[in-house]
Chains A and B, each alone.
Chain A
Amino acid sequence: MTSVAEAPTVQRRLLAQTGHGPLPTLDASQVVGLARDAGLTGRGGSGFPLWRKLNAVLVSGRPPTIIANGAEGEPASGKDKALLTYQPHLVLDGLQLIARAARASTAYLYVAQPAAFRAVLGSRRDPIPVTLVTAPDAFVAGEESAVAAAVAGRGAVPADKRFRLPDTGTLVQNVETLAHLALIARYGAGWFRTAGTYDEPGTFLATIGGAVAAPGVVEAGYGVPLGDLITAAGGPTAPLAAVLVGGYHGAWVPADPALPISREALSPYGATPGAGVVTALPLGACGLAETARIAGYLADQSAGQCGPCVNGLPRLATTLADLAAFRARPTLPAEVTRLTHLVTGRGACRHPDGTARLIASAMRAFSADVTAHLNGHCLATHTP
């Protein structure tokens, strides 16, 4: 999953092989201003503007804790691992920029395999020391408050959101976001905006998987047509039935090569570019069975803290599994809708919301197959 694909319309910024000049020293207002002018948003899936969070940390009056989040617990995503392998210095540059601007005494790099970064860190002369923290191999381990908890020495468990994390002085930024910041500091906000769309400037790293010839990580500007991403990953290995955009917390969209990967174009499908995960489903594979598989995984990956999630996700997963395996009653679609509403917004983190979103999108995207499954057969696999 970590091969870097070549394609005509994809861009290479983070993944460019060229060296970059020295990192300028910027004060807090310069970093906030640059990030705001560039329109740099979080690449971990939320798409929240970096400058807002950084500003909240700066005015919080609390000792700052700056964390680079490379946990990438999403199994379908490989872009953070690829970035950290190919361009660790860009990530560490971005981390230094923010840690210096915030006058932090230590910065943190939170990754699944920290030992691999000792040599890289040792080769740098960073003014702010970087502490490596091990990210558990778990889906929710990359959630912002779980990251903060893990760095504080507790379990990587999401926390209640009565107080926003940046207001407590803690900034968690995805490693890709930090790498973009390192480039913006060198080349400017205007340069950053020459890629992407007006509303969503810049490039993003996409992990292309599923029914493609060369699964891997691709860099492209926001608004890139879906077909270009698929082509960049070697093209489809079979005609495609649908594409899962945004990963396991994402949504199914039609396999339309012209569909732009942007918030605006994806919103009718309830999808967002998220953390850039694009998974192609071939014709002949059952979207309901695939969604049921993912739902089962997500139910198992609950942190286990919140009642509606601990009870609701397994119920949702088994309901969907019943549908996939033709054990369904006619009332099942209504029950799925009821359960998705039941879990949404009722947890410390958005794990139940994301799971419900994926399932709801599957019921829409594969609605014809839902009807077929209720009648005991599958349109995709022509079984049983």
Chain B
Amino acid sequence: MTDALWYFARGSGVVALVLLTVVVALGIGARSGRTAFGLPRFAVSLLHRNAALLAVVFLVLHVVSLLFDPYAQLRLFDVVLPFVGNYRPVWQGLGTLGFDLMVAIVVTSLLRHRIGARAWRAVHWLAYLCWPVALLHGLGTGSDNGTAWLWTVSMICVAVVLAAVAWRLTPNFTRFPHRAERKVAPRLRPLEEVR
């Protein structure tokens, strides 16, 4: 029974990482404003959102199973507070950090219309921190590090995200590369009050 929990925790963790990779790639794809795989733009965006919500489900399963796992000795506050765990505190702490970032990104996304685009976007940039943190956590912690299959999965994830980021940085990333940039004219920036 306890072994089952341990395997389940590892499995759900890997699935969450794969889903996060898909989410990051789809997020970058959605940002391009292009259609993808024959899907319209709004469908790409919905897929991005739903994959993220599914990743949260697997992440919660991953964490909950570890809470009940006698080997992991995960305490409730380890779920929120990074780097204070008993078991490989740094690697496990990365998992906690990734979980916190994920929660922040998802909650602000769900409350997007309340908090406004600016705050939402600022938090959403943390995805570029969340994903590598999750990846390192998977590679460093757990008993699977060093196994060929985990390395293979991880490297495929790395390749996918690196390819997406590289595409993001090319000049032809958006569907209208020749569109003029929207940027407030410097001449309108605030001036000091005189009195």
Bound: A132/B191 CA distance, A: 11
Of B182, B185, B187, B193, most buried by chain A (CB within 10 Å of CB) is B185
Within 8 A of B (CB), among A108-136: 114-115, 118, 121, 131-134, 136
Report yes or no: A138 in contact with B188, Cβ–Cβ below 8 A. Answer: yes
From 146 to 160 in chain A, residues with beta carbon under 8 angstroms from any chain B beta carbon are 146, 150, 153-157
Cα–Cα distance between A311 and B194 once the two chains are bound (Å):
35
Task: Provide the bound-state CA to CA distance between A311 and B177, in Å.
Answer: 12
Q: Is A56 an interface residue (CB 8 A)?
A: no
Picked from A114, A138, A140, A156, the residue with its CB within 8 Å of the CB of B194 is: A114
**Cross-chain contact A302 with B185 (CB below 8 angstroms):** yes
Once the chains bind, are A304 and B190 in contact (CB under 8 Å)?
no
Contact with A along B178-195 (1 / 0, CB 8 A): 011111110111111111
Asked if A307 is at the interface of the complex by the 8 Å CB criterion, the answer is yes
Are A306 and B182 interface neighbours, CB within 8 A?
yes
The B interface is mostly helix, strand or loop, or mixed, namely: loop
User: Is A305 located at the chain interface by the 8 A CB criterion?
Assistant: yes
- B188→A156 contact, CB < 8 A: yes
- In the complex, which residues of chain B have a beta carbon less than 8 angstroms from the beta carbon of A138? 185, 187-188
A155-B194 contact, Cβ under 8 Å, with A306-B182, A310-B182, A311-B180 = no
Q: Which residues of A contact B190 (CB under 8 A)?
A: 150, 153-156
Of B187, B188, B192, B195, the contact of A118 (CB 8 Å cutoff): B195
Q: Kindly identify which residue among B180, B187, B189, B191 contacts A310, using a CB–CB cutoff of 8 Å.
A: B180
Residues of A within 8 A of B189 (CB): 136, 155
B interface residues, tally (CB under 8 Å): 16
Q: Is the CB of A114 within 8 A of B184?
A: no
Given contacts A306-B182, A310-B181, A311-B179, contact A136 B195 (CB under 8 A): no
Residues of A within 8 A of B (CB-CB), count: 30
Residues of B within 8 A of A321 (CB): none
Q: A114-B194, A114-B195, A133-B193 are in contact. Are A314 and B188 (CB under 8 A)?
A: no
Q: Which residues of A contact B185 (CB under 8 A)?
A: 138, 301-304
Shortest beta-carbon distance from A105 to chain B in Å: 15
A118-B195, A132-B195 as given contacts; A157 in contact with B184, CB under 8 Å: yes
Q: Among the listed B184, B192, B195, which residue makes an inter-chain contact with A304, where contact means beta carbons less than 8 Å apart?
A: B184
Q: Which residue of A lies closest to B192 (CB)?
A: A134
Interface residues of A in 303-330 (CB under 8 A from B): 303-307, 310-311, 314
Q: Are B193 and A307 in contact (CB under 8 A)?
A: no
Cβ–Cβ < 8 Å partners of B195 in chain A: 114, 118, 121, 131-132
Residue in B181, B188, B194 with the greatest tally of chain A CB atoms within 10 Å:
B188
Residue A137 at the chain B interface, CB threshold 8 Å: yes
Establish whether residues A134 and B182, one from each chain, have CB atoms under 8 Å apart when the complex forms.
Answer: no
Closest A residue to B193 using CB positions: A133
Q: How far is the CA of A118 from the CA of B181 in the complex (A)?
A: 40
Known contacts A115-B194, A118-B195: A307-B182 contact under CB 8 Å: yes
Smallest beta-carbon distance A131→chain B, Å: 6
In the assembled complex, A141 has its CB within 8 A of some CB on chain B: yes
**Chain B residues in 8 Å Cβ range of A307:** 179, 182
State A155–B189 Cα separation when bound (angstroms): 4
Residues of chain B with a CB closer than 8 A to A311's CB: 179-180
Q: How distant is A50 from chain B, measured CB to nearest CB, in Å?
A: 26
Subset of 20 A-B contacts with CB under 8 Å: A114-B195, A118-B194, A118-B195, A133-B194, A134-B192, A134-B194, A136-B188, A136-B191, A138-B187, A138-B188, A153-B193, A155-B189, A155-B190, A156-B188, A157-B184, A303-B184, A304-B182, A306-B182, A307-B182, A311-B179
5 tightest A-B CB contacts, nearest first = A114-B194, A134-B191, A132-B194, A304-B185, A155-B188
- Footprint of B on A, CB under 8 Å? 114-115, 118, 121, 131-134, 136-138, 140-141, 146, 150, 153-157, 301-307, 310-311, 314
